[in-house]
Amino acid sequence: MSDLVRYKCLIGGEWAEAASGEYFESFNPYTGKPWSLVPRCGEADAARAVEAARAAFLGPWRSMKPTARGALMRRLADLVAAEAERLAAIEVRDNGKLYAEMASQVRYVPQWYNYFGGLADKIEGAVLPTDKAEVFNFTRSEPLGVVVAVTPWNSPLLLTAFKVAPALAAGNTIVLKPSEYTSASTLEFAALFEKAGFPPGVVNVVTGFGAEVGDALIKHPKVAKVTFTGGERSGRHVYQTAAGGFKSVSLELGGKSPNIVFADARIDNAVRGAIAGIFAASGQTCIAGSRLLVQDRIHNEFMDKLLAFAKTAKLGDPMRSDTQVGPVATLPQHQKILDYIEVAKGEGARCVLGGGRGSGPDCGEGWFVQPTIFDDVSNKMRIAQEEVFGPVLSVIRFRDEEEAIEIANDVLYGLASGVWTEDMRCALRMSERLEAGTVWVNMYRAVSFMSPFGGYKHSGLGRENGQDAVRAFLQTKSVWINMAETVPNPFVMG
């Protein structure tokens, strides 16, 4: 008998095995060993979950007043707050990120359910003027129906909140599909919906692989919208599949974000911003500042300080408070990062820090990569163009503002960017010209439930967070009412 924790998925308020009865193992990246078993759902489970969500949408959820819906969401927020540390520890066991980071993320998650819960009863239509005599015209903002939310492994509950909170506020029901690498925290979180008093079927969770249960969900004819966060390749596939059923789609994809340091910047602050941008979460964030653009004039001084600081990074057990860099989340990801390091060396980039597998007494059997910095990178190199999703920084020099913009925008992605300067005119010009959904000036890596987040170009479609995020889960209906006593003869025009 295995001593692994055995999870079930949640369909229509019932905890269930996959129809096939199959499970797969989930691994702890710090020990390299499996710790839990997760149901391997497929097409039949996807169909059951969508039917349950559709029944809840047409039944108890639709008849619930928006104020009551909002109150349930706020109750959920309180339950998440009370369980934040337990949920965060589960996330660390699955994705290996630092407990300190995951705990602060999960403690932040309730804000999404409070904020969007507060919006649930503020979704308004409009009365419109018309050019028709004796006609009254108004709009209703209505939910779409069943929403499928697909999430990646790096920040499971935070990225779930980006999707679930506005979708519920708008009156939709949901089928969640977490990453196959990090299903546990989403399943534990799902149990809180029942505790909060949500009707069964409003939120369902099916687990398994993208090509199996994920694909089946997206193809299901009763799904109205797909909201996806993940890699560019999967995102393209999801977009194309959803197009077959004319489903509404939002995509949050990858990035190759420029973090740009001008010569007049406060160097010590910019060094901190550069380090936070790439080594936090071992570089496994979509907004990683993986291209560091440094103005020629300060390049040498900046690099000395950057290297001195980066060398102090302590690798180790992600649960320990003195660890600064944890393992990477998956074995394939570990190999992919090491492969990219070899690609960069082969392309002629100069490795000035790290450049290999992380090891040492505190690393155990974990999947570690050394914090790695390449200098003298050209923006044409693959290491500057492709998302590595690991602790690998490419340093690129620039002469002036014009060249900084040219380099910064010369990638397929456009998720985020950072600008370090004391010249606010320069900062404003840069923020106008950077092709990115987020520009941070003299800071890096901030997100909030209050502020729109999303990508330009291949980094995605649509925006999450902020009040408008609710609109992405609504459709508008125009209602026309004839107030005249008689309907005109249709054979007489004019």
Q: Known catalytic residues?
A: 252, 286
Each residue 454-493 as x (binds ligand NAD by CB under 6 A) or -, in order, gives: -x----x---------------------------------
Cβ count near 64 (within 10 Å): 17
Helix (H, G, I), strand (E, B) or coil at 207: coil
The contact pattern for ligand NAD, residues 441-460, with x = CB under 6 A and - = no contact, is: --------------x----x
Our CB check for ligand NAD shows the closer of 41 and 261 to be 41
> In the set 29, 96, 152, 156, which binds ligand NAD (CB under 6 A)?
152
Which of these segments, 17-25, 103-111, 173-181, 313-321, binds ligand NAD (CB under 6 A)?
173-181
156 vs 316, beta carbon nearer ligand NAD: 156
Angle of the 156-169 helix axis to the 110-119 helix axis, nearest 10: 10
Q: How far is the CB of 163 from ligand NAD (least distance, A)?
A: 10
The rounded distance, in Å, linking the Cα atoms of 444 and 464 is: 18
The answer to the question of residue 254 lying near ligand NAD (CB under 6 A) is yes
Among 156, 387, 408, 418, interactor with ligand NAD by CB under 6 A:
387
* 326 in contact with ligand NAD (CB under 6 A): no
Measured from the CB atom, the residue of 218 and 293 that comes closer to ligand NAD is 218
Q: Does 253 bind ligand NAD (CB under 6 A)?
A: yes
Give min distance, CB of 464 to ligand NAD, in A. Answer: 7
d(C-alpha 390, C-alpha 411), whole Å: 18
Residues 6+ away with beta carbon under 8 Å from 477:
139, 140, 142
Q: Does 315 help bind ligand NAD (rule: CB under 6 A)? A: no
Does 91 interact with ligand NAD (rule: CB under 6 A)? no
Q: Name which of residues 10 to 39 contact ligand NAD (CB under 6 A).
A: none
Size of the residue set binding ligand NAD (CB under 6 A): 31
Residue 362 CB coordination number (10 Å) = 15
String marking each residue 193-232 x if it binds ligand NAD according to CB under 6 A: ----------------xxx--xx--x----------xxx-
Does the footprint of ligand NAD cover residue 180 (CB under 6 A)? yes
In this chain, which of 95, 172, 227, 234 binds ligand NAD, going by CB under 6 A?
A: 234
Q: How far apart are CA 462 and CA 455, in angstroms?
A: 8
Closest to ligand NAD by CB, 216 vs 265, is 216
Least CB distance to ligand NAD at residue 155 (A): 6
Across the beta sheet with 350-353, the strand order is 350-353, 372-375, 392-398, 291-295, 258-261, 416-420, 438-441
**Are 91 and 182 a contacting pair, CB within 8 Å?**
yes
> Dihedral through CA 418, CA 330, CA 454, CA 75, nearest 10?
-110
Q: Which of 229, 235, 169, 241 is nearest to 202 (CA)?
A: 169
Determine the residue type at 299.
H
Q: Which one, 198 or 413, has the nearer CB to ligand NAD?
A: 413
Q: Could you tell me the smallest distance in angstroms from the CB atom of residue 387 to ligand NAD?
A: 5
Q: What's the length of the chain?
A: 494
- 85: part of which helix (H) or strand (E)? helix 66-95
CB of residue 91 vs ligand NAD: minimum separation in angstroms? 13
Phi and psi at 148, nearest 5°, equal -100, 125
User: What is the H or E stretch that residue 491 is in?
Assistant: none
Burial code (b: 16+ CB inside 10 Å, e: under 16) for 278-293 equals bbbbbbbbbbbbbbbb
Residues 389-418 vs ligand NAD: string with x where CB under 6 A?
x-------------------------x---
Binding mask 270-289 for ligand NAD (x = CB under 6 A): ----------------x---
Locus of tokens 């009254």: 136
Contact 144, 248 (CB under 8 A): yes
- Find the shortest distance in angstroms from Cβ 55 to ligand NAD: 23
d(C-alpha 283, C-alpha 290), whole Å: 8
CB of 377 to ligand NAD, least distance (A): 20
CB of 28 to ligand NAD, least distance (A): 17
Beta strands in 245-401 (DSSP E): 248-252, 258-261, 291-295, 350-353, 372-375, 392-398
Q: Give the CA dihedral 42, 181, 160, 459, nearest 10 degrees.
A: -100
Compute the distance between CA of residue 163 and CA of residue 470 in angstroms, rounded to an integer. 9
For ligand NAD, the binding residue among 153, 239, 262, 456 (CB under 6 A) is: 153
The rounded distance, in Å, linking the Cα atoms of 259 and 88 is: 29
DSSP run (H or E) holding 234? helix 232-244
Which residue, 168 or 251, has its beta carbon nearer to ligand NAD? 251
Residues near ligand NAD, by CB under 6 A: 150-154, 159, 177, 179-180, 209-211, 214-215, 218, 229-231, 234, 237-238, 252-255, 286, 387, 389, 415, 455, 460
